[in-house]
Copies of this chain bind each other. A is one copy, B any other.
Amino acid sequence: MAKKVSMKDIAEKVGVSTALVSYVLNGLEKEKRVGPEVVKRIHQVAKDLKYKPNQIARSLRRGSTNTIGLIVADISNPFFGQLARVIEDEAAESGYTVVFGSSDENSEKSATLIDILLNRQVDGLIITPSEGSTEQIKMLLQGDIPVVLMDRYLPDISTNRVVLDNFNATYTAVNYFISKGYKKVNMIAYKSSLVHMQERIRGYQEAMKDNGLANEVVVKEISYSHAKSEMEKVMEDLLLDKKIDALLFATNALSISGLYAIRKHHIKVPEELAVIGFDGHEVFDFFQPPLTYIQQPLEEMGKESVKILLDQIKGSRKKVQVELTHRLIERASCL
């Protein structure tokens, strides 16, 4: 780095104290009734010297950094990339910067990330919690650290969260299948105790039961860390015994890797198999036929999360729990 110019430099050049400089540069000249001539000179000198305030020093003094930490499962997954973008823009509007990290659905990584971000004194955290991260989040709450859980949540913890109406989402999907005459509807989900996943599974199960199809219920669970290989195996099993005419995927990534398998085995959609995806992705548009899917309101999810977090940072102690509404985007992968 170079010869950093500080308030002291400006103060010396103008011939006043750093206090005055600080007041003026922070727009407090009115309250502090600084002389107009001095105000002008300070601004001029600051400009001449190309003064940049040192946020680190300010943060240390103020005890806040105007930074929010974002922990997602994987920033390279477009679902989270898009959320990150919305969060970035929304945060920027209030003068906040975003520091991010990817947890890979792994609670140890998540713990490490939380630690790192806290050491960096983020003012609050938006987290898509991993399995087994309940204790970590509890610690945050005990420490009175503003937190918003996004996309998923932890049932044992009463805190701010912004999630989809997961149960209704898959319930809708199954009803849609059934309205089209499908009965042997299976589901592929992640093996996870996380509520959002369990709710999606439960939505599927309940919808099946409510339609008298309880004994057709089949949920195949795939582990996040070996998704690819397990998906291939599961799909082979499903497709081989032909006891299935419709398939519901529980996420973006599952949908896509499922579609790879469907294509590999030359399954005709929807003639041999009807399909409903989750989240949305350009691949859904290009698949033949275009995929019907459950859409999440990403924009809203990101914005709400930031809004709630900033409220908390500003001191609100109200716990806010938002459930967003899915949409079924109907295309041609059924019937």
A120 proximal to B (CB < 8 A): yes
Chain B residue contacts of A78, Cβ below 8 A: 76, 78, 81
Copy number in this complex? Answer: 2
By the criterion CB–CB under 8 Å, are A82 and B88 in contact? no
Stretch binding the partner chain, chosen from A24-32, A111-119, A182-190, A323-331: A111-119
Give residues of chain A (89-135) contacting chain B, Cβ–Cβ below 8 Å. Answer: 89, 92, 97-102, 115-121
Q: Is A240 an interface residue (CB 8 A)?
A: no
Q: For residue A63, which residues in chain B have a CB less than 8 angstroms away from its CB?
A: 1
A window 179-220: CB within 8 A of B = none
**With A78-B78, A81-B76 in contact, is A98–B99 under 8 Å at CB?**
yes
B282 touches A121 (CB 8 A): no
Task: Report 11 cross-chain contacts, Cβ distance below 8 Å, ordered by A residue.
Answer: A2-B142, A52-B119, A54-B121, A56-B121, A75-B84, A78-B78, A78-B81, A97-B101, A98-B100, A283-B285, A283-B286
Residue positions of A touching B, CB distance < 8 A: 1-2, 52-57, 59-60, 63, 65, 67, 74-78, 80-82, 84-85, 88-89, 92, 97-102, 115-121, 142-145, 256, 259-260, 263, 281-283, 285-288
